[in-house]
Amino acid sequence: MQINLKLNGKTIKEEIADDLLLIDFVRKHGCYSVKRGCETANCGLCTVFLNGKPVLSCSLLTARANGQEVTTLEGLQPEAEEIGSFLAGQGAEQCGFCNPGFMMNAIALFRENQDPTDEEILEYLSGNLCRCSGYEGQLRAMKKYLAWKKEKQEVGA
């Protein structure tokens, strides 16, 4: 099957197998932040944006992305670096395996809701499996990041 999609802003036209999962497609194209964890759409490690909305690439056929825009963490470097520094600063990175999924979902959350409550943050990030932490570091990091963004906007205004 012939597909035509944008991956991190780059147009890709390619012949693919009908059963190719999006996770395998993006990794083939060098997007190694997208990780294979559970393969059952339960861990969040394979999160990508499809037309700006988070989806689990381990459960989506590449054919479904035909004509669409796919964005991985590699395509969101400025935002990812900011959020990543707050995760590291709060000791939330631990082994780091889950960080790309957390960052993708945090970026999606902050784009939708710039002033979420603790409960909303935890709910939005609940689909991300982290075996190292109790999610307290991630919550602290997200709250500090939001406070920093708010202060930055107030100073810049």
Task: For strands 47-50 and 53-56, give the pairing.
Answer: antiparallel
What's the pLDDT band for 1 if we cut at 50, 70, 90?
A: very high
Rg (CA), the chain: 16
Handedness of CA 70, 72, 74, 78 (dihedral sign): positive
Question: pLDDT tens digit string along 91-148?
Answer: 877 777 888 888 999 999 999 998 999 999 888 888 888 777 777 888 899 999 999 9
* The model's pTM: 0.90
Look-up: residue for tokens 């990041």?
145
Q: Please indicate whether the domains covering 2-74 and 76-156 agree at the CATH topology level.
A: no
pLDDT at 157 over 70: no
- DSSP lists the bridge partners of residue 53 as 50
Phi, psi of 52 (to 5 degrees): 85, 0
CA separation, residue 91 to residues 10, 86, 145 (Å): 34, 9, 14
Which CATH class for the 2-74 domain? alpha beta
**Residues counted in the chain:** 157
Instruction: Flag whether pLDDT at 11 surpasses 90.
Output: yes
- 62: closest CA among 46, 80, 40, 45? 46
pLDDT at position 67: 98
What residue segments make up the domains of the chain, in order of their start? 2-74, 76-156
- Return the CATH number of the domain spanning residue range 76-156: 1.10.150.120
